[in-house]
Amino acid sequence: MDTQRRPLIGGNWKMHGDGDEAISLANSLADARSVAELVVFPPFVHLGVVTDVLADSEVMVGAQDVSPHESGAHTGQTSARMLLDCGCTWTLVGHSERRHELGENDSLCAAKVTRALQEGLNVMLCVGETLEEREAGNAHQVVQDQLLESLKGCSSLDPGRLALAYEPVWAIGTGLTATPEDAQDMHQALRKTLSGRYDASSATGCRILYGGSVKPANAAALLTCPDIDGALVGGASLSADSFLAIASAAESWTSS
């Protein structure tokens, strides 16, 4: 992590928990104070209650997905404007579970990124390679292609509004984590790609988070890497204690 970028820690609650559990988890985060920015991504049906609980807190709320459409006859979809209206400030785009389970491709991700940014939502764009792609030596190419294709509609990059999450698919929910060296290597390459596509100062300002089995025990080793600016946490974000312990790992590094 570089001290010129404020760390960002995201909690992706995925499809876990009922309404009471979402309220209780949000309540346990409501008083959190951190050097890092904190954002949680609850299931859609709990967004209303979670944004209510966290309204006066420092914890931001985001959606796990957003429609590429402005409004209209799009059954089951949720527009950026609806999310903003409900108190969200962020959305994930291109999470690997959506790419792989629902067949979302880069051009759909690009449409979502463009729409969300246009409407005023901040975007956390997720990229990552599968195990087969890594073993074939293609990880960098795959991830770079995902990045450039998904940003196709963005002619400029506002680092305050767009963050990246590098989440190797083989590390998600498996207990396997990329080594800090491999993760740093990929983050540095992503930043270089951003610099080539945009400019050095936007690339330097853009937060690139690591995701994939991040836990309190491995967070510090990852967050000390110069190009790792935070974490996108799945399983460990379902407990306030472990989520905040990961945020404190960012804190101890930033203040050291």
Find out whether 222 and 7 touch, Cβ atoms under 8 Å. no
Active site residue 95: yes
Query: Which amino acid is residue 43, in one-letter code?
Result: P
Whose tokens are 């998600």? That residue is 172
Active site residue 46: no
Q: Is 61 in the site for ligand 13P (CB under 6 A)?
A: no
Q: Is 12 in the site for ligand 13P (CB under 6 A)?
A: yes
Quote the least distance from Cβ 156 to ligand 13P, whole Å.
26
Nearest to ligand 13P of 122, 213 (CB atom):
213
Calpha distance 64→130 (Å, rounded):
21
Long-range contacts at 108-111 (CB < 8 A, ≥ 24 apart):
108/68, 109/146, 109/149, 109/150, 110/149, 110/150, 110/151, 110/152, 110/153, 111/68, 111/153
Q: Is 172 in the site for ligand 13P (CB under 6 A)?
A: yes
Q: Is 167 in the site for ligand 13P (CB under 6 A)?
A: yes
Q: Which residues of 100-113 are buried (b: 16+ CB within 10 A; e: fewer)?
A: eeeebebebbbbbb
Burial (Cβ within 10 Å: 0-12, 13-18, ≥19) of residue 1 = buried
Calpha distance 29→195 (Å, rounded):
35
Catalytic, out of 37, 167, 187, 251: 167
Find out whether 179 and 171 touch, Cβ atoms under 8 Å. no
Q: Is 234 in the site for ligand 13P (CB under 6 A)?
A: yes
Binding span for ligand 13P by CB under 6 A among 68-76, 144-152, 196-204, 207-215: 207-215
Q: Is 247 in the site for ligand 13P (CB under 6 A)?
A: no
Binding span for ligand 13P by CB under 6 A among 18-26, 30-38, 193-201, 227-235: 227-235
Write each residue from 86 to 125 as x if it is in contact with ligand 13P (CB under 6 A), else as -, in one continuous string.
---------x------------------------------
Q: Is 218 in the site for ligand 13P (CB under 6 A)?
A: no
Q: Is 213 in the site for ligand 13P (CB under 6 A)?
A: yes
Is residue 190 within a helix (H) or strand (E), and if so which, with residue range?
helix 180-197
Q: Is 212 in the site for ligand 13P (CB under 6 A)?
A: yes
Catalytic, out of 95, 133, 187, 251: 95
Active-site residues, by number, are 95, 167
Residues lying near ligand 13P in the complex (CB under 6 A): 12, 95, 167, 172-173, 211-214, 232-236
